[in-house]
Amino acid sequence: MAGLVAEIGAVALYDELRAGRDARGLLTDVAGRLAEIEPERDLERAVRRAIRWIVPGDEEWPASLDDLDRAEPLHRMGRAPLGLWVRGAVRLHELTTPVAVVGSRSATTYGTGVAADLGAGVARAGAAVVSGAAFGIDEAAHRGALAASGTTVAVLACGVDRAYPAAHKRLLDHLAEHGAVVSELAPGCAPTRLRFLARNRVIAGLSQGTVVVEAAVRSGALNTASWTSLLHRPLMGVPGPVTSAPSEGVHELVRSGAATLVTRAGDVLELVGGMGEHLEEAPRAPVTARDLLDRVQQRVLEAVPVRRPASPESIGRTAGLGAERVRSVLDDLARRGHVDRLPTGWRLAEATDAVR
Amino acid sequence: MAGLVAEIGAVALYDELRAGRDARGLLTDVAGRLAEIEPERDLERAVRRAIRWIVPGDEEWPASLDDLDRAEPLHRMGRAPLGLWVRGAVRLHELTTPVAVVGSRSATTYGTGVAADLGAGVARAGAAVVSGAAFGIDEAAHRGALAASGTTVAVLACGVDRAYPAAHKRLLDHLAEHGAVVSELAPGCAPTRLRFLARNRVIAGLSQGTVVVEAAVRSGALNTASWTSLLHRPLMGVPGPVTSAPSEGVHELVRSGAATLVTRAGDVLELVGGMGEHLEEAPRAPVTARDLLDRVQQRVLEAVPVRRPASPESIGRTAGLGAERVRSVLDDLARRGHVDRLPTGWRLAEATDAVR
């Protein structure tokens, strides 16, 4: 149907179907549904509940969704949605660097902790979080973003006036107040399995990249991951213990090269941001006292035995330096706490936890 | 010195130095050491202690080490060792698919558990484990291989007659009995920092690939990792919780693309084995009852609401199927336990934990 909308336009198609003409074989399928639909009534009701309907061409329409029309579809609901129902103060075209944070409902404490940290970190950098509204990772990502007073968007597999799961009614109301709740399904629609799969493409399509935090081998989050790959947008995965089943799907994504490993918001922003926008320094150990030694001092230090003390002569032979020189360097190294002088010779100080 | 050995031969160089002639400026550095060395005595002693000395050209010489001479060196001890002292029953040229398993001394319980599993898994597949002899990951990898009655090789930064750490004396004796203990340093030599760094290149050089299990940002294991990359051999990393500092170095290796993520011995063997030798199936969830449904059944099931029951008519509209057809499919799905019939309509059965 999306194809026909693109071809002859939504209004023409609607009129044709409404008039009972068979729009290229679609009528049997659509007629039953169409009879029950009263678009004017739906829109009026939505407006009363502060829900708006946006379509391509509207200022608020997020252009990033249009890439779905160019991607090879994963299944028959593969195209860009015909429109979106939006509840919330945030306007979708104004989202900064939206990042999807998705994962298992049956997440571990580790997973929800990481998702909340990521949500907060992404939000703190000024980027928006996008996710579903499920228990587990989705919920944690939103809560993290909210805690950082950031922008976060929930995409539902039912109408935006409904709460699924019901326990998340307050969370969804809160999201509508501080972010946005979005769905391509009309208000009142119930969630079905197919709608969850279709919803996942909207999450991927709305976002500049997707991070998967904990996803078992058969997880809906991996479906969102596939959509992200089809859209040629950065797909990222947060690792966990290899002994943890909820991390198995993520590890497979990273192992196969489909996803890049990320460990924190900085990594994510580096990948989804504009070129050079969020450059992240690789983690480095703090500079140690050892780094401050000159080359000769380092050379001597490297030749000092770890355990059994040695004489300056023996150390000098290993280091390729004369014993006199070594003796004075050793005195200096001892003052700096790198080596210990024992009655039987010199050895590394206990505290020196060097590369071994 | 290794360069001169390659150029004029070890015997000629030794004779020249022994005779007090300055072998191209080396004499000052080497003379002092040479005076103390009695090679014949060293070899005799070694033989008495069941230690053998192998050099390039010997049958036992592991040819994989020669690649070190072709690699861009990391530091001045970059070349292939001039020879190796070996204690143990296993002959180095007979090692099957040797795999280095290295990591932090200050490993977590998670890390040592994973290293032991990997060591055992690699050994069970008939491949050899190579590691150092440190506490933590090294020790766990050896113990895992030994537990699987496999072959395991320890490469030391001191003479093979010495135990460092001292607490590993029994482990090293055991390794010598069931595998091999190897060093390029003559018996009696003490470990120094430089020797640990040099030792790491031998671990990488002896192995067809290296797995890093837990390595903090400044860890010797990352030095072994660098050697592996310089040798263009597979470098692998086992992920862990992103909240765990000992996994930080591994995550950075994977994130940067230097290492491939692996979670179990099968992944490792697939990467280091000959092409197609150890092919690993990607983890899959078991086939569920849902997979056995035909297309129409799946289509109906996907249209059944998750929570609020719906009529066959409503489900049919979502699925694009007539109500009659849907009714009979729903009856069948109910018998199979996928959907529940409630007074107000149909919804998914509780047990159906589908992709959402």
A59 is written with which tokens? 């200022």
Residue A229 has what DSSP assignment?
A: H
The residue extents of the domains of chain A are 1-37, 38-272, 289-348
CA distance A39 to chain B (A): 17
Q: pLDDT class for A157, splitting at 50, 70, 90? A: very high
- The CATH architecture annotation of domain A38-272 reads 3-Layer(aba) Sandwich (3.40)
CB nearest A305 (choices: B191, B303, B356): B191
Q: Quick one: closest CA in A to B284, which residue?
A: A217
Contact A241 B238 (CB under 8 A): no
Contact A255 B267 (CB under 8 A): yes
Which chain B residues touch A305 with a CB distance below 8 Å? 190-192
How many angstroms separate the most distant Cα atoms in chain A?
104
Q: Which residues lie below 8 Å from residue A24, measured CB to CB, with a gap of 6+?
A: A4
CB nearest B220 (choices: A190, A242, A355): A355
How confident is the model over A176-201, as a mean pLDDT? 93
pLDDT, averaged across chain A: 88
Per DSSP bridges, beta strands B51-54 and A129-131 are unpaired
Which chain A residues touch B355 with a CB distance below 8 Å? 193, 196-197, 218-220, 223
Contact B242 A264 (CB under 8 A): yes
By C-alpha distance, which of B313, B314, B303 is closest to B339?
Answer: B303
Contact B306 A164 (CB under 8 A): yes
B248 is written with which tokens? 């930080």
User: Over 70: is that where the pLDDT of A276 sits?
Assistant: no
Least confident of A70-79, A218-227, B88-97: A70-79
User: Over 90: is that where the pLDDT of A170 sits?
Assistant: yes
User: Over 70: is that where the pLDDT of A281 sits?
Assistant: no
Which chain A residues touch B318 with a CB distance below 8 Å? 192, 194
What is the pLDDT at residue A278? 63
Determine contact, residues A30/A1, Cβ cutoff 8 Å: yes
Residue A135 has what DSSP assignment?
A: T
Which chain A residues touch B356 with a CB distance below 8 Å? 105, 132, 134, 157, 191, 193, 196, 220
**Per-residue tens of pLDDT for chain B, all 356 residues:** 667 777 788 888 888 777 777 656 655 556 666 777 788 888 888 988 899 999 999 999 999 999 998 877 666 667 899 999 999 999 999 999 999 999 999 999 999 999 999 999 999 999 999 999 999 999 999 999 999 999 999 999 999 999 999 999 999 999 999 999 999 999 999 999 889 999 999 999 999 999 999 998 888 899 999 999 999 999 999 999 999 999 999 999 999 999 999 999 999 999 998 656 666 666 666 667 777 888 888 888 988 988 888 999 888 888 888 888 899 899 999 988 899 998 889 999 875 444 44
Which chain A residues touch B223 with a CB distance below 8 Å? 355
Contact B301 A251 (CB under 8 A): no
Q: Which H/E stretch holds residue A211?
A: strand A209-213
What is the pLDDT at residue B292? 80
Q: Which of the two residues, A4 and A63, has the higher pLDDT score?
A: A63
Contact A355 B134 (CB under 8 A): no
Q: Quick one: closest CA in B to A310, which residue?
A: B190
Q: Which residues lie below 8 Å from residue A338, measured CB to CB, with a gap of 6+?
A: A289, A290, A293, A301, A304, A348, A349, A352
Residue A57 has what DSSP assignment?
A: T
| Residue linked to tokens 């949500």 | A119
* A-B contacts at Cβ under 8 angstroms: 173
What is the pLDDT at residue B356? 43
- What's phi and psi for A264, nearest 5 deg? -160, 170
Contact A220 B318 (CB under 8 A): no
Position A321, amino acid: L
The length of chain B in residues reads 356
Determine contact, residues B237/B212, Cβ cutoff 8 Å: yes
Position B113, amino acid: G
CB atoms within 10 A of CB A286: 7
Which chain B residues touch A307 with a CB distance below 8 Å? 164, 166, 190-191
Contact B194 A302 (CB under 8 A): yes
CB nearest B240 (choices: A197, A239, A302): A239
CA distance B59 to chain A (A): 30
How confident is the model over A268-291, as a mean pLDDT? 73
Kindly report the CATH class assigned to B289-348: mainly alpha
Least confident of A65-79, A250-264, A289-303, B255-269: A65-79
CA distance A240 to chain B (A): 4
Annotate chain B with three-state secondary structure.
Answer: CHHHHHHHCHHHHHHHHHCCCCCCCCHHHHHHHHHHCCHHHHHHHHHHCCEEEECCCCCCCCHHHHHHHCCCCCCCCCCCCCCEEEECCCCHHHCCCCEEEEECCCCCHHHHHHHHHHHHHHHHCCCCEEECCCCCHHHHHHHHHHHCCCCEEEECCCCCCCCCCHHHHHHHHHHHHHCEEEECCCCCCCCEHHHHHHHHHHHHHHCCEEEEECCCCCCHHHHHHHHHHHCCCCEEEECCCCCCHHHHHHHHHHHCCCCEECCCHHHHHHHHCCCCCCCCCCCCCCCCHHHHCCHHHHHHHHHCECCCCECHHHHHHHHCCCHHHHHHHHHHHHHCCCEEEECCEEEECCCCCCCC
How confident is the model over A133-140, as a mean pLDDT? 96
CB nearest A29 (choices: B114, B306, B320): B320
Determine contact, residues B214/B111, Cβ cutoff 8 Å: yes
Q: Which residues lie below 8 Å from residue B170, measured CB to CB, with a gap of 6+?
A: none
Contact B193 A355 (CB under 8 A): yes
Contact A243 B114 (CB under 8 A): yes
Q: Quick one: closest CA in B to A109, which residue?
A: B241
Contact A193 B356 (CB under 8 A): yes
Contact A302 B192 (CB under 8 A): yes
ipTM: 0.77
The proportion of chain A whose per-residue pLDDT surpasses 70, expressed as a percent, equals 88
How confident is the model over A262-266, as a mean pLDDT? 96
Q: Whole-angstrom Cα distance, residue B126 to residue B110?
A: 25
* CA angle in degrees (0–180, nearest 5) for B330-B331-B336: 90
Contact B242 A240 (CB under 8 A): yes
Contact A305 B192 (CB under 8 A): yes
